[in-house]
Amino acid sequence: MSALLLEQLLNGVQLGLSLFLMAAGLTLVFGVMGLINLAHGALYMTGAFVCAWTGALTGSFWVGLGAGVLAAAAAGAVIELLVIRRLYDRDHLDQVLATFALILIFSEAARAVFGAAPLWLDVPPALAGSVALPGGAAYPVYRLAIIAAGLAVAAGLYLLIQRTRLGMRIRAGEADREMVGALGVDIATLYTVIFALGAGLAGLAGAMIGPLQSVQVGMGEPVLILAFVVIVIGGIGSIRGALFGAVLVGLVDTLGRVFLPAAFALVLEPSAAAGMGAALASMLIYVMMAAILAVRPQGLFPADA
């Protein structure tokens, strides 16, 4: 039982840190530009497709990974220049609709370019295999690598925002858009850079997921919605809240799916327990989000506090 628990805890943290890569961009864009971006999942999908396709073409996962991140960042910069910047002054309804439209466009474009059949990607040889956990279970190295990458990005973002000129501008931009403008910072370029940065992180998340699941059209949407749950729980605009929320969601979702059916089996007959347990487990994070918002309507770490 404890080996299983440890394995599932690691799975939860891995899911959580993948979600963090998605959520960081979303929450940054919302915090600085006040924009709600549904098309973030499309950038994740872009990273996954380009990584899988380039990886298959060149035979190197690492080339694919680089290409995926760059492609997602470039796609982000392009949609920021063409569409997104027209939305900063609009209300959230317009933002939702325009970025919903972008999802439709990206999905069909991906279908047209890469075809409807899913792509598959192998785990890179350097990260193949597994390590023994205390307690005896074997755990895939690749998943540990995702955890490491997520932590590295979190640390990098922290340093970027706290220690660099760009970070200073980001913090200033959150505090007061007009003031940054008055300081002579080129706001338009700053926004494009921030958006592309968030897009690149989404692309990274998408590219890394390739070896764990099939790469297909629509893959960005469940992740997008989870990432929204994450940033809403954490407090929209807060990177710290996103990290906390992401790990919380990852753990609750993973552990719920494993242990809820087992818990129900203690009180119900097996088939009913499996049904109820699975149904409730899949709802669990949404229940958690509703409960948190009912008590704290601004999330756990409101950005303006």
Partner 1 sequence: MREGVVSAALLGALLAFGLGAWALGEVFFVNLAARVACVALAGAGLNLALGFGGMVSFGHAAFFGLGGYAAGIAATHAFDGGAFAGVLPGTTSMPVVWLAAMLAAGLAALPIGLISLRTQGVYFIMITLAFAQMIFYFAISFPAYGGEDGLPIYLRSELPLVDASDPLDFFLVSFALLVAVLLGCRTVLAARFGAALALARLNPVRLATAGIAPLPVLLAAFVASAMIAGLAGALFAELNGFVSPAMLSWHRSGEIMVIVILGGVGRLAGPVAGAMLFVALETVIGGWTQYWQGWLGLILLGVVLFARGGLIGALAGPVRHG
Non-local (6+) Cβ contacts of 130 within 8 A are: 138, 139, 140, 141
Least spacing, CB of residue 157 vs partner 1, in Å: 21
Q: Are 146 and 18 in contact (CB under 8 A)?
A: yes
Query: Which pair of structure tokens corresponds to residue 151?
Result: 């932590």
Q: 58 vs 13, 46, 48, 120, 124, CA distance in Å?
A: 31, 18, 15, 14, 13
| In contact, 93 and 35? CB cutoff 8 Å | no
CB of 33 to partner 1, least distance (A): 12
Q: Phi first, then psi: give them for residue 300, nearest 5 degrees.
A: -80, -35
Q: How far is the CB of 1 from partner 1 (least distance, A)?
A: 24
Residue 8 or 298: the one with the smaller Cβ distance to partner 1 is: 298
Q: Which is nearer to partner 1, 166 or 276 (CB)?
A: 276
**Considering beta carbons, is residue 76 or 211 the nearer one to partner 1?**
76
Binding site for partner 1 (CB under 8 A): 30, 36, 83, 86, 92-94, 96-98, 100-105, 107-109, 111-112, 221, 225, 228-229, 232, 236, 275-276, 278-283, 286-287, 289-290, 293-294, 297-299
Query: Which of 19, 43, 10, 25 is closest to 229 using CA atoms?
Result: 19
Q: For residues 52 and 232, which CB has a smaller minimum distance to partner 1 in the complex?
A: 232
How far, CA to CA in Å, does 205 sit from each of 18, 23, 34, 137, 183? Answer: 6, 10, 23, 26, 34
Name 57's Cβ contacts closer than 8 Å, sequence gap at least 6.
Answer: none
- Least distance to partner 1, CB of residue 60, Å: 31
Q: Which is nearer to partner 1, 79 or 247 (CB)?
A: 79
**How far apart are CB 246 and partner 1 at their closest, in Å?**
15
CB of 91 to partner 1, least distance (A): 8
If the CB atoms of residues 207 and 285 are measured against partner 1, the closer one turns out to be 285
| Calpha distance 246→266 (Å, rounded) | 30
